Amino acid sequence: MKNPLRIGVVGLGTVGAALVGALATNAPLLASRCGRPLIVTAVSARDKNRNRGISLEGIAWFDDPVALAQSPEVDCVVELMGGADGVAKAVVEAALSLGKSVVTANKALLARHGTALVALAEAKGAQLNFEASVAGGIPIVKTLRESLAGNVVTRVSGILNGTCNYILSRMELEGLTFADCLADAQRLGYAEADPTFDVGGFDTAHKLSILTSLAFGTEIDSDAVYVEGIASITPLDLTMADELGYRIKLLGVAERTSTGIEQRVHPTMVPKNWAIAQVMGVTNAVSVLAEPVGELTLVGPGAGGNATASSVLSDLADIARNIHVAPLGVPASALSHGDRAPMQRHEGGYYIRLTVRDRPGAAAGIATRMAEQMISLESIVQKRAAASRMADPAGKSGAPVPVVLITYATSENAIRAALDAVMADGHIAEPPQLIRIERG
């Protein structure tokens, strides 16, 4: 049997502890499958004395993670610290510069510096593996990079953040508000004390930028991703979606269009009969449309110690087997800048909820503004609150009334122009709610 792969683990949080435990428990299986032992020889974390439920006996402790990366007793570094810059970046660069392969789950680091780090790895003959950086335990990186190497990908979309999916699922099933669900998610540990990165859509955007590069052979460019979060979604929106045959999900979507490659993250209405619409709770799902295979949907745990550790183990097994694959599917020098498709040119159907002032001419004025932008309406639904009906059965009080418009395919530019005009006319009492519809 070959010499062991000596692994240094930087970061012993939930994922790091699960990884060290799994490497010990599954040592005979890994050695058999990889043709050599995989052993942890060094670790680094903030608190040496913390009880992590794993044995670190016989494993060297480093207070300085960069020193660990440079240690001659370490062949491969696993970076599980997180963060786009600082120590995490220094650790990865130190290891790659010495020709040591790196496994990371750090989507923020890859979203900002991924292309440069891949180029460094290739120049030094090292591997940079990152299956765990997107969708936890779902093997979407290898699916795009290796399993679909002979396919032309036209679209990648998915539920890439379990926190958002958990909140939207509970809001829909239990009729709760966003604020109530967020508070519960924080109590259960699904959301951070500062949840902005998750519920604002930025975590999904980082992951989507990585998938875009793998799918289309472009440089990783998280700045090209249009981002909206879920804080504006209300129980009424979820109820209306249900009545119209849809379910609301926070999707990351990357697709090749006539105007370039779109990268967008936003709440989306998806038909209930789609596989991705059935994914509830903290689960993730990724759908790939490619030729000649058609459409594939992968569903599984998107976070958590064991799920993420599973993906790290897969990457370590490849390194132990000496499997060398271009990290982004093609050499870094062959990556294109990619033609950005501006969000203003996005085309599709739209759900628009307006809080319309109940007065003569309001409906006609709104219809006129839509017609001016050549927007065709598929349906119009008026939702008068039960309390308003009881207080004013004749509907003459002038109180604002929720009105939902569903459009046929149109452009983002046209929708924005029409809604700006409607707001300027004073027909609505608050900013409109706008949710894009995916119809396939």
User: Among all residues, which ones are annotated catalytic?
Assistant: 207
Dist CA 319 CA 74 (whole Å): 13
Beta carbons within 10 angstroms of residue 298's beta carbon: 16
Which residue in 227, 231, 226, 263 sits closest to 248, CA to CA?
A: 231
Dist CA 145 CA 361 (whole Å): 56
Cis peptide before 292 (omega within 30 of 0): yes
Angle at 215 between CA 119 and CA 204, to 5 degrees: 90
Burial class (CB in 10 A: 0-12, 13-18, 19+), 349: middle
Which residue in 49, 65, 54 sits closest to 10, CA to CA?
A: 65
Q: Give the position of tokens 């002038």.
A: 398
Inter-residue contact 164 to 199 (CB < 8 Å) = yes
- For 315-338, give the DSSP string: HHHHHHTT----TTSS-GGG-B--
Which residue in 37, 35, 32, 43 sits closest to 5, CA to CA?
A: 37
Provide the angle, in degrees to the nearest 10, between the axes of the packed helices 305-320 and 27-34.
Answer: 30
Inter-residue contact 208 to 263 (CB < 8 Å) = yes
Dist CA 20 CA 54 (whole Å): 7
Dist CA 94 CA 110 (whole Å): 16
Dist CA 62 CA 393 (whole Å): 73
Inter-residue contact 118 to 328 (CB < 8 Å) = yes
Dist CA 262 CA 162 (whole Å): 23
